[in-house]
């Protein structure tokens, strides 16, 4: 059940170690900052090409950096090794790394489909499974995956991305009992349009529509997503498992 407010409630994650993938920029960097603010020690993970930006985020949050492509077969092993040698146990895993390769269905080819599925859904599934199998997680592990409203309602030009994010939602719902068995939880957040590098090249008209639909009348910010995740990994959210929390500033149907 939900925990009591801890004595040090302003830093509810004190003593916990969090891995955040895709942490070099955008939503992932903001998740790293927010969990660090709440007391967690953060391991910031991103691809080697993001090295400098990744190091900067790791320094800013007084955590550590791990250069790793999450689709590597040995990704979970590398995460475990890094955490064990530097920080001890692993408590929180935030699967934030994700990619877009938008194409209309007529132009959707295996090379635009496969990488999106590999990064967005297969990697979180394999890493979570390996960490659970290997007993690599602390006593009350919390896992949060980045889904998307595109995975709930679909979006033109995003058959690959929408399928991957719908897959994330299915995975989260189906693995809730496994996490519960391990004393923890797994949940997803489904952001709507958030202003980051990922969405910077989306055509202007679409951005304007997204801003208007948001109840705050502006594009969603990485911070909106990071705060929702901070709740899901907090001691107070122990009773929330297998859920999808939309962070889209509107009462979206679907
Ligand atoms: P972004 O492109 O700005 O940042 C993504 C980060 O993930 C980058 O630093 C990138 O290097 C890293 N990454 C990509 N592939 C990786 C891999 N194989 N291994 C390790 N790291 C990898 O994106 P963002 O907007 O910050 O999105 C973060 C997450 O939120 C994604 O999962 C995205 O699908 C999801 N999301 C974003 C929005 C939005 O509107 N921005 C909406 C819904 C969901």
Give the ligand 1 atom nearest the CA of 197. 3
pLDDT computed for residue 254 by the predictor? 45
pLDDT computed for residue 206 by the predictor? 78
pLDDT computed for residue 3 by the predictor? 66
To the nearest 10 degrees (0 to 180), the angle between helices 123-133 and 159-181 is 10
Q: Is 71 in the pocket of ligand 1 (CB under 6 A)?
A: yes
Q: Is 124 in the pocket of ligand 1 (CB under 6 A)?
A: no
ipTM of the complex: 0.99
pLDDT computed for residue 5 by the predictor? 65
Q: Is 10 in the pocket of ligand 1 (CB under 6 A)?
A: no
Q: Is 98 in the pocket of ligand 1 (CB under 6 A)?
A: yes
161 flagged as catalytic: yes
**Average pLDDT, consecutive stretches of 10 residues, N- to C-terminus, the chain (254 residues):** 67 96 98 98 98 98 98 98 96 98 95 98 98 91 97 94 98 98 97 92 80 77 97 96 92 54
Ligand 1 centroid, distance to 96 Cα (angstroms):
6
Torsion, CA 157, CA 161, CA 164, CA 168, rounded to 10: -120
Chain segment 189-209, per-residue pLDDT in tens? 999 999 999 988 888 777 887
Chain segment 160-183, per-residue pLDDT in tens? 999 999 999 999 999 999 999 999
The Cα 163–Cα 152 span in angstroms is: 9
The Cα 63–Cα 75 span in angstroms is: 19
pLDDT computed for residue 217 by the predictor? 72
Q: Which of these is catalytic: 161, 166, 189, 192?
A: 161
The Cα 126–Cα 71 span in angstroms is: 9
Cβ burial, residue 155 (10 Å; 0-12/13-18/19+): middle
Tell whether pTM > 0.90: yes
């Amino acid at each position: 059940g939900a925990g009591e407010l801890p004595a040090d409630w302003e830093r509810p994650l004190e003593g916990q170690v969090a891995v955040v993938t895709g942490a070099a920029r955008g939503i992932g960097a903001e998740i790293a900052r927010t969990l660090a603010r709440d007391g967690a020690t953060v391991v910031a993970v991103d691809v080697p090409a993001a090295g400098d930006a990744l190091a900067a985020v790791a320094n800013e949050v007084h955590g550590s950096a791990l250069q790793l492509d999450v689709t590597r077969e040995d990704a979970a092993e590398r995460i475990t090794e890094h955490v064990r040698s530097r920080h001890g146990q692993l408590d929180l895993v935030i699967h934030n790394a994700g990619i877009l390769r938008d194409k209309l269905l007529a132009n959707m080819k295996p090379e635009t489909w496969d990488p999106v599925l590999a990064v967005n859904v297969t990697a979180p599934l394999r890493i979570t499974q390996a960490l659970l199998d290997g007993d690599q997680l602390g006593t009350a592990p919390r896992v949060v995956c980045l889904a998307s409203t595109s995975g709930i309602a679909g979006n033109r030009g995003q058959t690959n991305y929408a399928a991957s994010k719908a897959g994330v939602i299915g995975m989260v719902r189906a693995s809730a009992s496994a996490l519960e068995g391990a004393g923890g939880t797994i949940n997803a957040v489904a952001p709507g349009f958030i202003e980051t590098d990922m969405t910077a090249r989306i055509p202007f008209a679409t951005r304007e529509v997204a801003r208007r639909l948001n109840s705050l009348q502006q594009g969603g910010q990485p911070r909106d997503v990071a705060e929702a995740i901070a709740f899901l990994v907090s001691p107070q959210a122990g009773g929330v498992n297998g859920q999808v929390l939309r962070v889209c500033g509107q009462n979206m149907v679907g």
